[in-house]
Structures are given as C-alpha cells and as structure tokens.
C-alpha cells in the first residue's frame, strides 16, 4: 500500500509534514488550496479514516499511525479554534 505525505502550513506559518498510509488523501486535499480550519479538519478526518480502513481491509487491522497523525492534527488545530478566519494551506502531496 503506497504511503503518502502531505505538507501543510498552519495559520501561524508553522509547517508540518503529515503521514497517510494511503494515497487516498489526494481525493480529499488539493495542493495549493487554503482550507478553512473546520473544513480542513473534516477532510483530514475523512481521508485518514478511509486510509486506515483500507489498511484494515488489506491487513486485518486499522492503521494506528493514521489515527496518531489525526490526533496530532486535531491537537495542533485547537490552537486556532477561536479564530473564525483560520485557514490551513496544503502545500504539497508526495
């Protein structure tokens, strides 16, 4: 199963490289797009949930790394939750 990384920039200009166990993340996130924080979180939850489920279908167990990545994204996003204009930029997928 091909792994994919997606690089994002938070509203404070901090960048993170995030992990997905599947290229399905490309169906949910587009490089060069600024997503409102809530929309980004929704897309990340869906993408990493689908990716983890694909691992379950292939190997018989969910991908804990995908769920760990989602937890880190959600924890980082909490810092910007009070800003209604907060956006996350998806820089690239690789």
Looking at residues 87-92, what average pLDDT do you find?
Answer: 99
* pLDDT above 70 as % of the chain: 99
Q: With 90 as the cut, is the pLDDT of residue 1 above it?
A: no
* pLDDT above 90 as % of the chain: 98
Beta-bridge mates of residue 9 = 15, 89
36-74 pLDDT per residue, tens: 999 999 999 999 999 999 999 999 999 999 999 999 999
Distance CA 25, CA 4 (A): 8
Q: What is the dihedral of CA 56, 68, 45, 78, to 10 degrees?
A: 170
Using the structure block, give the residue that is written with the tokens 């279908």: 57
pLDDT for residue 59: 94
């Amino acid at each position: 199963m091909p792994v994919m990384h997606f690089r994002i920039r938070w509203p404070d200009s901090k960048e993170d490289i995030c992990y997905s166990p599947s290229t399905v993340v490309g169906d949910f996130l587009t490089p060069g797009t600024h997503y409102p924080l809530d929309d980004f979180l929704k897309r990340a939850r869906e993408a990493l949930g689908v990716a983890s489920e694909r691992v379950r279908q292939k190997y018989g167990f969910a991908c804990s790394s995908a769920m760990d990545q989602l937890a880190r994204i959600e924890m980082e996003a909490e810092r910007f939750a009070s800003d209604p204009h907060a956006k996350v930029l998806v820089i690239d997928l690789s």
